[in-house]
Structure 1
């Protein structure tokens, strides 16, 4: 099942799917993100995990543009405890080629790595290989 989240103009900002054969959720972020889109996307993951328990997340920022550091407080304080309570244990992050996206995810990794297994990767294949080994 694929869930597509769209902005008010109809453009897609996130696709999320549960990959049954790999036993992970693959989230593909597209374009610029806001606190609202990140909260909606994060709560979509949470709902998926509650319906289909799964310990792994493949968070794909290859097509993400810009910063999202304004959402890192919410991710750290609200989303991380909720997602861990729902069973998430391993978080493979494909880093954006955009420097501002890289800075944002590095800040997030620093904030939550003591709570959740989060590793950053430059390409999708490396992230998938790491998740398979978990």
Structure 2
């Protein structure tokens, strides 16, 4: 993997990392802990920056370590982030769901609203999501 982008909260806790796999096979984003509108937007904009820097049709978005719901950012993700990621070249979105039922419900709601924008699959493990993305050629 290439250089990793890391975003931290005010007190230094990492809430988001993103990297581009070798050969630009896919972007790999990981989210950690409790998310807010601000952290969701900051991480989302970082992914947009990475896409605009070098387009990539595949994103592995791992929410495995997310705690709680982030539904307060759903409208932004649906109306701004998803269309801009599509315009920048994203076509396939592998969502790794967390063990938190509230975060999982938020992801399921988002998918219902943006599944016309990307081909989306959900997974319980990053390795399965990666295998699906790599199988797309």
* Category of TM-score, reference length = shorter chain: over 0.9
Q: Could you tell me whether the CA contact under 8 Å between 1:65 and 1:101 is conserved in 2?
A: yes
What is the TM-score with the length of structure 1 in the denominator? 0.97
Structure 1 residue runs without a partner (length 5+): none
**What is residue 37 of structure 2 aligned with on the other side?**
35
**What is residue 86 of structure 1 aligned with on the other side?**
88
Q: Structure 1 residue 23: deviation in Å? A: 1.4
Q: Could you tell me whether the CA contact under 8 Å between 1:29 and 1:64 is conserved in 2?
A: yes
CA-to-partner distance for each residue in 1:22-72, whole Å, 9 max, x for gaps? 611100100000011000100100100111111110000111110011111
Number of residue equivalences: 134
- Please, which of 48, 52, 56 is the counterpart of residue 50 of structure 1? 52
CA distance in 2, matches of 1:94, 1:21: 22
What is the TM-score with the length of structure 2 in the denominator? 0.95
Q: Could you tell me whether the CA contact under 8 Å between 1:6 and 1:14 is conserved in 2?
A: yes
CA distance in 2, matches of 1:75, 1:64: 16
Q: Could you tell me whether the CA contact under 8 Å between 1:94 and 1:124 is conserved in 2?
A: yes
Q: Could you tell me whether the CA contact under 8 Å between 1:90 and 1:131 is conserved in 2?
A: yes
Q: Structure 1 residue 21: deviation in Å? A: 3.7
Structure 1 runs of 4+ with >6 Å offset? none
Q: CA RMSD in A?
A: 0.9
